[in-house]
Structure 1
């Protein structure tokens, strides 16, 4: 079959899948074989990362891909994007005009995977636990606007917020607000290891080797009651690979049925141009972004002019074209181009063409001696093989100006993330897969109190005025003025330097159905959409 890649527009800032192959229908399975999904995400238990699958600790795309299959949330994002819809809840909504009181009524007969009842008190326990533990690696900041949670009877949960937040339903759709079984989780202590006990559509059996998860086996939860409808009775396996090349070979040989993140740009080009009759390929607009983060207290980059000079010298177009090709495009803001409220603030301030003269002027006016010595830190094993090439190019771009003396250093993810949170890096490279597709989730996690990066940067106008203003607006278009003002401040102060945003891709054997729905608008796996049909 001759497959052509079609490009469909994103709708209302969300993601539109593009299917470039034939495949079966959404019908039931004709085989009892497990559906095997490959990933390059790695999951390890160590002293610095003792509880990778505890909702109070987990705050990365890989861990959330496991939790979304096993831990139920009050709300969820529908398969085609749009506003959050009830999942464990029967109904939810604000009960005041200021978006400060949010009430949910649970579905009848909700059960944990062990058959125990799920009650409003369990919901309160689960979210209070995340906020109480408040682990520096965890997602507590996402829920920090909660003042108190009230459990009213068996089925009603009421959230009292510190300030109005129209995006709160999105936050209740994330694993940060996942419902866990109080019989298995302590209120004030992380649950070490790879055990997960929830009320989601699947249960988890973890196969480990030397403290690493090599295979996650999902089995349909017979007690599950919720909005999600698993398309297959088969088990689904999530298998971890050391690199995208090995994962791709396993797909070609039929050892696995589907692969998602992260693929190499060369693989993506080959699949798009030369897909075989037995492989289907899905390309989607993406909200993934990459950026440089700064410890604004570090002596090397404490002066704003240093960070501005870097913004003036970085050539995003060269990075995307030489390293990532058609899989990425330059990003000139913290907010991706397809999200309501986006503006090209960095382009407007620094232009699209790097300028050594302008960078030199910034440094001279601030009285900074050159060359400025810096180390750019990156992770070797979390975002794919292109990361090293990207940082080599960033180093060369900065050094070629004569204004910087840059070295690069790569570190494995577990050590890298711990060091970043402990403030050991002046400059570091990170990626962001959004918790939900709203501008707030590209701003608050980096700039609000208790932010994801543990950044010392604090702008009172952003935190006290602009973020609260934007959250008051139920109509997100009406929040654009506040959101754009935040982006302009970030372009001026450069606590974060956005580099590029990427598309997302899935490749699967031709007999796997539901592939076009396997990723949601926040790049999270929805394994319940997969089934095994008949290839054409």
Structure 2
């Protein structure tokens, strides 16, 4: 009887969802709430999950297949020396406050991102810019210090969106962009709301209103889907329920790949983790498949380096850090380490909290004790990412093709081996595809053999949606819930 009542309640809730569908609105579930809504001043993936391609746009953008496409720049030319990019901007583009977007806004955005006091989390994307010149309101010339065939790719990141000087100060709480949706409200701890921009320069979107609801608890996420409180959950945190949802004709399960290298990050300058033998011991203590099965219910691909398996330049290096607990014990003895206790900071995502418990048990089996601390996302960003106050943490790096972060001396796991930095410098100057591939493969092997981090798995994109919704991304070439092609069907 109770089961029938629950099914009836779910059906009524779904009817409510159908009414929303008729109004062309949608509610999207997200695990994490963004700490702010300015993608040019924050590292959290949740920022882009709300605003990328929806509220903010860049000169270029990523398509759902990972390709780089025109956005605010309808085209661009590259000088023969590969150092000068001339971007031709679209006409008739306005910000959500009604002011025109032109070359001066592009110059402001790029100069701000590359400034010495820039708070941009991906400042390296702009490091090669020598100057930005506005030749006329619709044309911007960017001169680089060296050739970089990857520059249009860099400009597609969420960190490179175009903003206006008049509104950037309040962007964290009231973002003003040029996108097909405009920001309407943020109820902190619960939701962000956006609505269709009637003055959008491009093709109007089908959705008139979108709400992003923040539900980190897997059980609550499942209940929200079943009750119709959420129409789609593109990164669903309860993989153990996917089979049940897939069997229900009201829903469809969307499984794809992401750019999310999930790692057991180690503080490479914190003794004894500054000893490669200790880091290697930790790596060999990890049973990747056990983590994938136990934390992700089988969804995920084992990785042995910081590179996406679907990338054509990926090298399978899992054998370098294969599960071998006896080798772990031997390495710890060689390093003279006994009774080791390390701090393990776990942010809210399911892969971290559930995976962290499994990792802790695996490390304990080789004699390494862990003190687990569950931290909220804002605390993780402040303490771990910015403050580097940690020993171990588990996080998924969802930025596209981001192996270059290992060359940054101030990055939170603090590696930046000079040989690796030199490799990344060579990569920037290399345009030949085969040569770039060779450098990337060498880079993957270097960090794998240095055991910079414990490489766990590539995060699968496991999404759930109302069966009538079309246009959600199957894969995640960047961290985004792009709603520009989403629509309801009958």
* Stretch of structure 1 that moved more, 157-166 or 324-333: 157-166
- 1:362 aligned partner: 331
CA deviation vs aligned residue, 1:88-119 (integer Å, no higher than 9, x gap): 1110242234x332221101122111221111
- 2:12 aligned partner: none
**What RMSD over aligned residues (CA atoms) do the two structures have, in Å?**
2.3
After TM superposition, list the pairs within 5 Å mapping 1:14-33 onto structure 2: 31-33=22-24
**Contact 1:375–1:426 (8 Å) recurs in 2:** yes
**Contact 1:206–1:213 (8 Å) recurs in 2:** no
Is 2:175 aligned against 1:196? yes
- 1:236 aligned partner: 210
The answer for unaligned runs of 5 or more in structure 2 is: 1-19
- Structure 2 counterpart of 1:290, from 262, 270, 274: 262
The answer for unaligned runs of 5 or more in structure 1 is: 1-28, 45-51
**TM-score, scaled relative to structure 2:** 0.89
Give the Cα separation in 1 of the matches to 2:132 and 2:220.
Answer: 47
Give the Cα separation in 2 of the matches to 1:75 and 1:492.
Answer: 35
Is 2:302 aligned against 1:326? no
Distance 1:359 1:251, change over 3 A: closer
More contact order relative to length (CA 8 Å, sep ≥ 6):
1
- The secondary structure found in structure 2 opposite 1:62 is helix
Give the Cα separation in 2 of the matches to 1:265 and 1:289.
Answer: 18
- 2:40 aligned partner: 56
Is 2:399 aligned against 1:413? no
- 1:432 aligned partner: 397
**Contact 1:124–1:151 (8 Å) recurs in 2:** yes
CA deviation vs aligned residue, 1:222-272 (integer Å, no higher than 9, x gap): 22224xx44415212212224232233222222222112242121223223
- 1:220 aligned partner: 196
Following superposition, the deviation at residue 30 of structure 1 comes to 7.7
- 2:415 aligned partner: 457
- 2:66 aligned partner: 81
Following superposition, the deviation at residue 376 of structure 1 comes to 1.9
- 1:256 aligned partner: 230
- 1:11 aligned partner: none
Following superposition, the deviation at residue 193 of structure 1 comes to 4.4
- The secondary structure found in structure 1 opposite 2:270 is coil
Distance 1:527 1:359, change over 3 A: same
CA deviation vs aligned residue, 1:348-391 (integer Å, no higher than 9, x gap): x33x33141x233433444x232322222211x2x22x423322
- 2:25 aligned partner: 34
**TM-score, scaled relative to structure 1:** 0.82
Give the Cα separation in 2 of the matches to 1:158 and 1:89.
Answer: 12
- 1:47 aligned partner: none
- 1:5 aligned partner: none
- 1:442 aligned partner: 402
- Structure 2 counterpart of 1:469, from 408, 423, 426: 426
Following superposition, the deviation at residue 134 of structure 1 comes to 4.6
* Stretch of structure 1 that moved more, 331-340 or 253-262: 253-262
Following superposition, the deviation at residue 147 of structure 1 comes to 2.5
Give the Cα separation in 2 of the matches to 1:80 and 1:491.
Answer: 28
Following superposition, the deviation at residue 56 of structure 1 comes to 2.8
Following superposition, the deviation at residue 520 of structure 1 comes to 4.3
Following superposition, the deviation at residue 75 of structure 1 comes to 0.6
**Contact 1:40–1:241 (8 Å) recurs in 2:** yes
**Contact 2:257–2:475 (8 Å) recurs in 1:** no
- The secondary structure found in structure 1 opposite 2:22 is coil
Give the Cα separation in 2 of the matches to 1:392 and 1:302.
Answer: 24
CA deviation vs aligned residue, 1:10-69 (integer Å, no higher than 9, x gap): xxxxxxxxxxxxxxxxxxx9822521111122134xxxxxxx112331222210122211
**Contact 1:329–1:502 (8 Å) recurs in 2:** yes
Is 2:448 aligned against 1:491? yes
Following superposition, the deviation at residue 522 of structure 1 comes to 2.1
**Contact 1:518–1:526 (8 Å) recurs in 2:** no
After TM superposition, list the pairs within 5 Å mapping 1:32-431 onto structure 2: 32-44=23-35, 52-68=36-52, 69-82=54-67, 84-97=68-81, 99-132=82-115, 134=117, 138-186=121-169, 191=170, 193-208=172-187, 212=188, 214-226=190-202, 229-272=203-246, 274=247, 276-347=248-319, 349-350=320-321, 352-356=322-326, 358-366=327-335, 368-379=336-347, 381=348, 383-384=349-350, 386-402=351-367, 404-420=368-384, 421-431=386-396
Following superposition, the deviation at residue 523 of structure 1 comes to 4.2
- The secondary structure found in structure 2 opposite 1:301 is coil
Distance 1:81 1:411, change over 3 A: closer
**Contact 1:286–1:501 (8 Å) recurs in 2:** yes
Count of residue pairs the alignment pairs up: 469
Distance 1:340 1:478, change over 3 A: farther
